[in-house]
Amino acid sequence: MSRRYEKIAFVASQSPEAAEARSRLAARYGDCEPASADVVVALGGDGLMLQTLRAQMRSGKPVYGMHRGTIGFLMNEFAENGLRERLAAAETTVIHPLVMRARDRMGGAHEHYAINEVSAFRQSYQAARLRLLIDGKERLPELVADGVMVATPAGSTAYNLSAQGPIIPIKAPLLALTPISPFRPRRWHGALLPDTARVTVEVIDPDKRPVAAVADHSEVRDVTQVEVAMDHSISMHMLFDPGHSLDERILREQFGY
C-alpha cells in the first residue's frame, strides 16, 4: 500500500553536486528538520546513506536515497521530478544493525553499531592471531590472517564481497563470517551463520600482534575481545523504487550485472 509522505527532510553529502541537488529539491518540495519529517531523503553515495541510517536508527523514519555520490548501490536514481509520487510508490526494505562490544587492553568497554559489517584488523606488519567462538563455543582455535569480519545481508555486497565472502539475499536470516587474507588455516573460507548467532573474536597475543575493531566507520584500537550480534530490536526502513529494491540488486550481483 502506498503512503503519502508530506514532510520531507533533505540531507546531503559535502560534495558540490549533492549540495546543489539539496538546494533545488528543498526549494521545490519544502524542507524540514529530520525530527519532524515523515521521511528523510539522502543525497549522496553509500557513505551518506549509512550515515543517515545510523542517525535515524532509533527514530523509525524511512530513508530514501538518491545517488549524488561515488558509489550508489544503496541509492535510487536521481531525478528532480515526481519525488512525492516516487516516495508514495516506493517499496520498503527493513534491515537490522550489528552491535559490536569491544574490550581494549586497558580494560575499557566500547559499543558501536554497524549496518554493513564489523571487522577485526591487524594493526601492525604482523598478521593477527584470532580465536573464534560462536555462541560461546570455540569453533576455530586460531585464525592467522589480516583479520575477520561479520557482515549483514545488506553489507554482504560491500567489503565482504571484496574479501571473497558470500552474497546473502536481503531477507535471509543469515550473517557472513569471512576471513580477511587468511594465512592459516589456508582452506578456511568463512562460514554462514544464523542471524541470531553471537560471534566472539578473541585476540591471541595482543601485545605483540595488536588488533583494531571497526564497526562500519567507528574504530577501537588495541582490542583484546570483540563480540558481535545482530540487534533485532532496531529496525531501519529503506525505501526503493519499484523494481529496484535492495533484494533485487543483491540478486543481480550474483549474476554479475
**Beta strands at 137-151 and 98-104: parallel, antiparallel or unpaired:** unpaired
Residues of the chain with pLDDT under 70: 1-2, 256-257
Query: In this predicted model, what pLDDT tens digit does every residue of 41-61 receive, in sequence order?
Result: 999 999 999 999 999 999 989
Distance CA 152, CA 87 (A): 26
* All residues at 6 or more sequence positions from 257 whose CB lies less than 8 Å from its CB, including other chains: none
| Residue 71: predicted pLDDT | 77
Active site residues: 46
Single-letter code of the amino acid located at 114: A
List C-alpha distances in Å: 75 to 9, 60, 165, 245.
16, 19, 22, 10
User: Is the distance from CB of 142 to CB of 204 less than 8 angstroms?
Assistant: yes
| Residue 133: predicted pLDDT | 98
| Residue 186: predicted pLDDT | 87
CATH of domain 8-96+234-253: 3.40.50.10330
The CATH H-level superfamily of 98-230 is Probable inorganic polyphosphate/atp-NAD kinase; domain 2 (2.60.200.30)
Alpha-carbon radius of gyration of the chain: 20
| Residue 2: predicted pLDDT | 54
Domain definitions of the chain by residue range? 8-96+234-253, 98-230
- Which residue(s) pair with 200 in the sheet? 133, 227
